[in-house]
Structure 1
Amino acid sequence: MTPTARQQARHWQRAPGSLTQRLFAWGGEVRVQRLRQQVAPLLPGEAADLGLAPGTRCLVREVVLHVGDAPVVWARSVAPHAALSGPWKALVGLGTRPLAALLFDDPAVSRTPLRPQWHPRGSRWHQRADEAWRTVAGQPWPASVVAARSSVFWRRGMPLRVFEAFSPAMLASPTATPPTSPRPR
């Protein structure tokens, strides 16, 4: 990763608020492509971030966010299966709508601080990003490192972990710095 791309990644990793709204302000039309939504195994760190025992059944939703025709973000959200009949039940019917609609329009939802992450080739996170990118773009994740961020949202005592990985093409753009004030909803 070039120094410029690493600097761009840091801007996106720390940008507060709705990533979808920032992407809209940055590049216009944002489209959500759902890759999968199912009960699936957790990746390293997810159980601990959610305060769950390893092996707890969780719903996993993976999407790619596109700006125009370009895929720019691979995202993975994880919620305990028990939360799907409670505070996060709307997640099941979300389809191709952005997750932001559930997270930022509800004053009962709180968020932990954003945590920047860097996942090298060979890590389970890089492997998942690579699989998603092959599905969407027909090619592997185009970098040796996945620059990402994660945080946990809480609603009525139940967690929802959100992980967002930024495509190298997005980070290479000289205009890729996230806008400071996203368009209001």
Structure 2
Amino acid sequence: MPYETPQAAAVAWLAYPQLATTLDQPTLDWLFDEGSLTRRLTRLSHDHFSVTPLFEGWQTLRDDECAALDLAPGAQGWVREVYLRGHGQPWVFARSVAGRSVLERGGLDLETLGSRSLGELLFCDQAFIRHPLQVCRYPQGWLPLAAAQPNLWGRRSRFARNGLELLVAEVFLPALWQAAKEETR
């Protein structure tokens, strides 16, 4: 594993109404866009989008992840961490997790994704239901060292299909905000 993902003090995951009056509209549009982030990044990068896997494997899930997936604290799960890149630059750090028990029952083989986007897989399968997005200032200690900065916006949502649940978190890195700003000029 390239870095530690320590437990942090309780993180306040917020819904749209809690942030609607405090954030500018472009930021809200990115954080609460319910469409495929992969597709949006592909458009923004003019098809120069790629996925770089950082870590994939079994790991003890964080307390906030266990709570979101209704798992016992300290449960084991499959963890996939990647950079979503535009023009070769890391634009988003993504961490996807699922409980070991639900994955062992079958239905989704996360181990074979490689450099393919999990988001694209989730959005192509109509059976997945996306639960509401939640947003926070993502703890710096949960980020890879190369991307670790304070006060980065992150979001997460739970995807469910026939008892299988995945939690997908995406942290928006400074290079994405810069590319988005240049696109609107």
TM-score band by shorter chain is 0.7 to 0.9
Deviation at 1:11, TM superposition (A): 2.1
Match 2:56 to one of 37, 41, 47: 37
The one-character-per-residue Cα deviations of 1:133-152 (angstroms, maximum 9, x if unpaired) are x2xxxxx53x4212011000
Match 1:15 to one of 25, 33, 53: 33
Residues 118 and 57 of structure 1: CA distance in aligned 2, closer, same or farther (over 3 Å): same
Alignment match, 1:77: 96
Match 1:27 to one of 30, 45, 54: 45
Unaligned runs of 5+ in 1: 1-5, 120-124, 135-139, 178-185
Secondary structure (helix, strand or coil) at the match of 2:143 reads: helix
Match 1:127 to one of 141, 147, 154: 141
| Counterpart-to-counterpart distance in 1, 2:66 and 2:166 | 11
Unaligned runs of 5+ in 2: 1-22
The one-character-per-residue Cα deviations of 1:118-161 (angstroms, maximum 9, x if unpaired) are 13xxxxx3112142xx2xxxxx53x4212011000001112100
| Counterpart-to-counterpart distance in 1, 2:37 and 2:116 | 13
Alignment match, 1:55: 74
Alignment match, 1:145: 151
| Counterpart-to-counterpart distance in 2, 1:128 and 1:31 | 22
Contact 1:87–1:156 (8 Å) recurs in 2: no
User: What percentage of residue pairs aligned between the two structures are identical?
Assistant: 35
Letter in 2 for 1:128: W
Secondary structure (helix, strand or coil) at the match of 2:124 reads: coil
Match 1:99 to one of 115, 118, 127: 118
Match 1:169 to one of 150, 161, 175: 175
Tell me which of the two structures has the higher relative contact order, counting C-alpha pairs closer than 8 angstroms and 6 or more residues apart: 1
Deviation at 1:86, TM superposition (A): 3.6
TM-score (norm 2): 0.78
Number of positions where the alignment pairs a residue of Structure 1 with one of Structure 2:
159
| Counterpart-to-counterpart distance in 2, 1:108 and 1:27 | 29
Deviation at 1:101, TM superposition (A): 3.0
